[in-house]
Structure 1
């Protein structure tokens, strides 16, 4: 989703430098949120939405243009089994991906729809979209997804291959549809977050030391086109990515003892 002019100006003011093709720190993330696993902006507000993953609260946090917490919303009817990514629709609703599966034993996965979170005070209830994997697919860990043409697309986190599955954006129980798979090149190939551009022509997949830019694909087989690796020259536990426009993305990483816990800007050109 795109930022409006005001927020883009604030970001430019914060960087005050050339960021095209470089991973540029914008700001420290709130110190109380050490394990941010996603970042998303809806089309209806300038709030940056973030979550934390397994072992943390079932809260959706909103950050203002200065990257300070302005919203703290408890999603009161669901648990944080392992929240891993965020996406949104054109109406401004947020979707939380509860599909982390480090043990690779999980059989039931969920996506939680939070309607217009910018209007919530301190709590909200979510609608639940639940799913199981295709019958012949073994249990996998997922940390990334996005919404495209009213369906959710999830990418598995694995060092050997990345598998793509699809689930309809409909409340209720579903069986995911298997789309395709790819062997990403390099030593580190685990996908930790994903997003798609507003025009549907560019997909980005995040890793700790790089991202992959996918383009020229056919229909929703995002692995069928060009896959370009773009290195950061910086390694940390990067877990969240959000496309601002066709040329820029926001990235977050988790806080460790000596590094991380920052919001970054990266140019795709």
Structure 2
């Protein structure tokens, strides 16, 4: 073979080796890039598609060691919110923003038997509803009344249900578990989680003043699910209840008429275990899950 032919073959072999190395480097760069299908971002995109289909906008996730979100209330400053854990967690109100970032916390000098809900009067008072009652056997139901700026000063509303006679009642009557509440015009409204038929949420009312009280049955709402959160819009015309991956919207001229309305049911499938709900304005809801996700929903 001539010297020229040997030189040509050597050049071709060298070129092929360089191309193979370049292709390998390119493949590695693609695999490491943010747009690679191997990255978690691709999977997250699929989750976002489900959220959009459910009418939800993902806005944040709990951070800073907040264990879960079992309820929501407005915070000290606009754009801040209080949340908390339920049975088995410390008696702490966590102050967060809409992104889920921890801004502060207030430990209360009271037990957390089963905190399940928060309500606020818009004037700085938070009502911590310790009324989780899975077995319907509790006789120590209480609502703690506190200004978060003075967490060491807590007053109590001890209460019982007017129509509960047995602790626990027969299984078919176990509808005395409360995970949802709201404050309106000097009263606290409690919405039960039906553990018997899963078809009715009973609505009770109490005064927002400290002392021992009997919660009076106001009405019964036919709901095919278990209510875990409640709130009323600032104008009083929209009542929102959240259940396990479902939203129930009641409209009226005021709360009384809204409670008589036929609700619009919105599926929240894919959102997680929805627990907390709060109106940001008359047409925007903030919804939280026990897993720590935060969503906006536009009416």
Tell me the residue number matched to 1:214: 250
Partner of 2:282: 246
Instruction: Identify the range of structure 1 (49-58 vs 209-218) with the bigger mean alpha-carbon deviation.
Output: 209-218
Q: Which residue in 1 is equivalent to 2:207?
A: 168
2:223 is the counterpart of 1:223: no
Higher relative contact order (CA 8 A, sep 6+): 1
The total of aligned residue pairs comes to 239
Using the TM superposition, give the Cα deviation of residue 30 of structure 1 relative to its aligned residue in structure 2, in angstroms: 1.6
| Residues 1:114 and 2:146 aligned together | yes
Output the CA distance in 2 between the equivalents of 1:124 and 1:46: 24
Q: Is the 8 A contact 1:86 1:96 kept in 2?
A: yes
Partner residue, 2:71? 38
Q: Which has the larger radius of gyration?
A: 2
Aligned residues of 1:131 and 1:175 also touching (Cα < 8 A): yes
Report how far residue 197 of structure 1 moved. Answer: 0.7
Which one of the candidate residues 136, 140, 154 is aligned to 1:126?
Answer: 154
> Which stretch shows the higher mean deviation, 141-150 or 176-185?
176-185
Give the superposition deviation at 1:45.
Answer: 4.2
Residue 132 of structure 2 is matched in structure 1 by 100
Task: Give the TM-score of the pair, scaled to structure 1.
Answer: 0.81
Within-5 A mapping of 1:27-106? 27-30=60-63, 32-42=65-75, 44-64=77-97, 66-76=99-109, 78-106=110-138
Q: Partners in 2 of 1:235 and 1:25 — Cα distance? A: 9
Q: Is the 8 A contact 1:21 1:266 kept in 2?
A: no
Q: Which runs of 5+ in 2 are unaligned?
A: 1-47
Match of 1:155 in 2: 191
How many Å separate the matches in 1 of 2:114 and 2:285? 24
Distance of 1:133 and 1:162 partners within structure 2: 14
Q: Does structure 1 residue 263 correspond to structure 2 residue 294?
A: yes
Within 2, Cα distance between the matches of 1:247 and 1:184?
Answer: 22
Q: Which has the higher helix share?
A: 2
Aligned pairs (5 A) from 1:133-144:
133-136=161-164, 140-144=176-180
Q: Is the contact between residue 51 and residue 61 of structure 1 (CA under 8 Å) also seen in structure 2?
A: yes
Question: Structure 1: any 5+ residue segments left out of the alignment?
Answer: 1-14, 256-260
Higher strand share: 1
